[in-house]
Chains A and B, each alone.
Chain A
Amino acid sequence: MISFPLSLVLIPYGIVVLIFILLAAYSVHNLVRYGATTNSSFFATFAFLAGAVFVMFFTWSALRGTDWTQEVTIGGGFSVTPTTKL
């Protein structure tokens, strides 16, 4: 049986967010450097940044009130019962 605090799952998520930020910054830099003078390039950059902000905002609002100190137990303690039999 393995137990760990729920907050531990934030670490892999944080790594994903970090990778996203780095690659997103590089992509926006590429677009601005080579195609800054066009409307399509401006629109794509704006849509991309707006979409990223929307995803982060949705995540933050869905996770509000979560108790990150609770323990996750794998191998016995963590069980969820289906309500409908397949």
Chain B
Amino acid sequence: MIDLDHLITKKSDEKIIFQMRSHWILFLGELLLLIVLAVLPIGLFIVFQGVWPSLLMGTMSKPILVLMTSAYYLMLWLFFITKFIDYYLDVYLVTSDRVLDVSQQGMFARTVSELDLARVQDVTSEIKGILRSLMDFCNVYIETAGAKERFVFEDVKHPDVIRKRLLELVEEDRKRQGEVIAELGRPV
């Protein structure tokens, strides 16, 4: 589970109920692009071996080509880890008190948005498209009482289950807050 202490100050009775990220199949698409880019120099090597072998074996051209290929693979590897971080550290968290959207953009940008469960007015789940219907993943929209844009859990697994559970948690949180207010208002 993601380390929450670096992101928020947890309340003493606050528990993480569930944690989600976008469906892994979306990361798989990026991985396929990476594989194609990784195979490209191998294909070029095979082609050059047939039409221009002296280029690959030359005392000067060989070290230059090796350095270029090495630099290419290092950058590709960096591209892989950046994509992984982008996917893996993009997390939606639901605690007993709030909803958190931790959004990682590339290597250097990160946004953390919070929403109090008691402010949630409406939760909508939608599934669109063949792949999303078959694999049961899509968006969950959370609307609040404020004028702020709605919260979106993008491409999460089982959106219907999440919607139901989220509405239950909102109800529980409202009850708990009502009890606290009643407790405070009681004469001593």
If the complex has contacts A9-B63, A20-B74, A80-B52, are A35 and B80 also in contact, measured as CB distance less than 8 A? no
B50: Cβ under 8 A from any A Cβ: yes
Per the bound structure, the CA–CA distance linking A51 and B64 in Å amounts to: 21
Per the bound structure, the CA–CA distance linking A41 and B51 in Å amounts to: 43
If the complex has contacts A44-B84, A67-B59, are A84 and B75 also in contact, measured as CB distance less than 8 A? no
- Range for the number of chain A residues in contact with chain B: 35 or more
Q: Is B88 a contact of A41 with CB atoms below 8 Å?
A: yes
B125: Cβ under 8 A from any A Cβ: no
If the complex has contacts A6-B63, A34-B6, are A84 and B52 also in contact, measured as CB distance less than 8 A? yes
In chain B, what residue has the closest Cβ to A67?
A: B59
Q: Which residues of chain A come closer than 8 Å to B85, judged between CB atoms?
A: 27, 30-31
| A42 CB, nearest partner CB in chain B, Å | 12
Q: Which residues of chain A come closer than 8 Å to B84, judged between CB atoms?
A: 44, 48
Per the bound structure, the CA–CA distance linking A48 and B76 in Å amounts to: 11
Per the bound structure, the CA–CA distance linking A40 and B19 in Å amounts to: 15
In chain B, what residue has the closest Cβ to A32?
A: B3
Of B65-73, B128-136, B141-149, B150-158, the one touching chain A? B65-73
Per the bound structure, the CA–CA distance linking A37 and B63 in Å amounts to: 42
Give which listed residue, B61, B63, B77, contacts A55 with CB less than 8 A.
B77
Q: Is A83 a contact of B54 with CB atoms below 8 Å?
A: yes
Give a binary string over A16-33; 1 marks a CB under 8 Å from any B CB, 0 the rest.
110010011011001101
In chain A, what residue has the closest Cβ to B55?
A: A80
Q: Is A34 a contact of B89 with CB atoms below 8 Å?
A: yes
Q: Is B54 a contact of A6 with CB atoms below 8 Å?
A: no
Q: Which residues of chain B come closer than 8 Å to A51, judged between CB atoms?
A: 77, 80
A10: Cβ under 8 A from any B Cβ: yes
Q: Is B70 a contact of A70 with CB atoms below 8 Å?
A: no
Per the bound structure, the CA–CA distance linking A10 and B53 in Å amounts to: 23
Q: Is B51 a contact of A62 with CB atoms below 8 Å?
A: no
Instruction: Given contacts A55-B70, A55-B74, A68-B63, list 8 more A-B pairs with CB under 8 A.
Output: A20-B78, A27-B107, A37-B2, A55-B73, A56-B70, A78-B60, A80-B55, A82-B51
A-side interface residues toward B, CB under 8 Å?
6, 9-10, 12-13, 16-17, 20, 23-24, 26-27, 30-31, 33-38, 40-41, 44, 48, 51-52, 55-56, 58-59, 62-63, 66-68, 70, 72, 78, 80-84, 86
B-side interface residues toward A, CB under 8 Å?
1-3, 6-7, 50-55, 58-64, 66-67, 70-71, 73-75, 77-78, 80-82, 84-85, 88-89, 107
